[in-house]
């Protein structure tokens, strides 16, 4: 399959442009909800208690549910199905599978970076007397140890990044969603990395005009991810 970044971004932008008001409303709604929850959470955490901890967990789970809602909206727009702002609250029934698949994802991530972390910790421990200087954290050896952590983490993140899309699109088992993401991204790691870097640059540039450009770049990034998910899924 030909993987053209320009084609993907242009096609995604065409969808965003045709549904800009809905996507901007969804982004602003999520931003407003997250801001409100954050303010309440900060106030509650000033006096740490059981209630404040429960609220923090509930707020985090609610935000996860909103993320699933955004994916549902993007999928419906891509497939030309009926879409509305109410769909942002329509995928909370997938919250437990999403939570379980996220735990599996984090576990896999921890496993692949553990060799690099262990080597780094042993290196620091073995050179504990020189921790006061920056000499312990420089040179080819340290860069190699960092690469042992960063490269596997990036690789796994790229391979497994679409598990939430499978959960929303197919409502499959949480572990099956992880497996399917690994399947469709096989052979496209470098292309996905470069596309992700391109989108990251677009988002960074959009921050320049007082952050106003984020109301365009964030929906574009969400639609690009959705478009690529469908592209890879059809090619698999």
What share of the chain in percent tops pLDDT 70?
93
DSSP string, 121-151: HHHHHHTGGGTTSGGGG-SHHHHHHHHHHHH
Domain ranges of the chain: 18-90
Q: For residue 222, is pLDDT > 80? A: yes
pLDDT digits (tens, 9 = 90+) for 59-114: 999 999 999 999 999 999 999 999 999 999 999 999 999 999 999 999 999 999 99
- Please report the pLDDT score of residue 40 as a whole number: 85
pLDDT digits (tens, 9 = 90+) for 144-186: 888 999 999 999 999 999 999 999 999 999 999 999 999 999 9
- Please report the pLDDT score of residue 132 as a whole number: 47
pLDDT digits (tens, 9 = 90+) for 209-219: 777 889 999 99
- Give the pLDDT mean for 129-147: 65
Quote the mean pLDDT of the chain: 89
- Please report the pLDDT score of residue 133 as a whole number: 47
Q: For residue 126, is pLDDT > 70? A: no
- Please report the pLDDT score of residue 127 as a whole number: 54
Q: Compute the distance between CA of residue 52 and CA of residue 31 in angstroms, rounded to an integer.
A: 21
pTM (predicted TM-score) = 0.89
Sorting pLDDT into bands at 50, 70 and 90, what band is 225? very high
Sorting pLDDT into bands at 50, 70 and 90, what band is 196? very high
- Please report the pLDDT score of residue 96 as a whole number: 95
Q: Is 104 exposed, middle or buried (0-12, 13-18, 19+ CB in 10 A)?
A: middle
Q: Compute the distance between CA of residue 41 and CA of residue 52 in angstroms, rounded to an integer.
A: 7
- Please report the pLDDT score of residue 135 as a whole number: 53
Give 36's contacts (C-beta < 8 A, 6+ positions apart). none
What share of the chain in percent tops pLDDT 90?
68
Sorting pLDDT into bands at 50, 70 and 90, what band is 131? very low
- Classified as helix, coil or strand, 225 is helix
Pull the structure tokens for residue 141.
Answer: 């050896």
- Please report the pLDDT score of residue 1 as a whole number: 76
Q: For residue 5, is pLDDT > 70? A: yes
């Amino acid at each position: 399959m030909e993987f053209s970044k320009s084609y993907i971004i242009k096609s995604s932008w065409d969808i965003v442009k045709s549904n800009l008001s809905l996507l901007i409303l969804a982004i602003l709604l999520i931003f407003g909800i997250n801001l409100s929850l954050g303010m309440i959470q900060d106030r509650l955490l000033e006096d740490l208690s059981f209630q404040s901890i429960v609220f923090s967990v509930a707020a985090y789970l609610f935000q996860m549910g909103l993320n699933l809602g955004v994916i549902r909206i993007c999928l419906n727009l891509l497939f030309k199905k009926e879409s509305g702002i109410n769909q942002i609250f329509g995928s909370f029934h997938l919250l437990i599978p999403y939570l379980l698949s996220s735990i599996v994802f984090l576990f896999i991530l921890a496993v692949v970076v553990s060799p690099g972390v262990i080597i780094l910790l042993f290196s620091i421990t073995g050179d504990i007397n020189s921790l006061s200087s920056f000499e312990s954290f420089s040179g080819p050896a340290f860069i190699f140890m960092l690469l042992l952590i960063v490269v596997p983490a990036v690789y796994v993140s790229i391979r497994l990044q679409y598990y939430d899309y499978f959960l929303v699109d197919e409502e499959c088992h949480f572990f099956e969603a992880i497996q399917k993401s690994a399947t469709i991204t096989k052979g496209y790691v470098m292309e996905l990395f470069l596309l992700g870097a391109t989108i990251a640059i677009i988002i960074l540039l959009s921050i320049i005009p007082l952050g106003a450009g984020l109301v365009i770049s964030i929906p574009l990034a969400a639609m690009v991810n959705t478009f690529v998910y469908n592209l890879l899924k059809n090619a698999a």
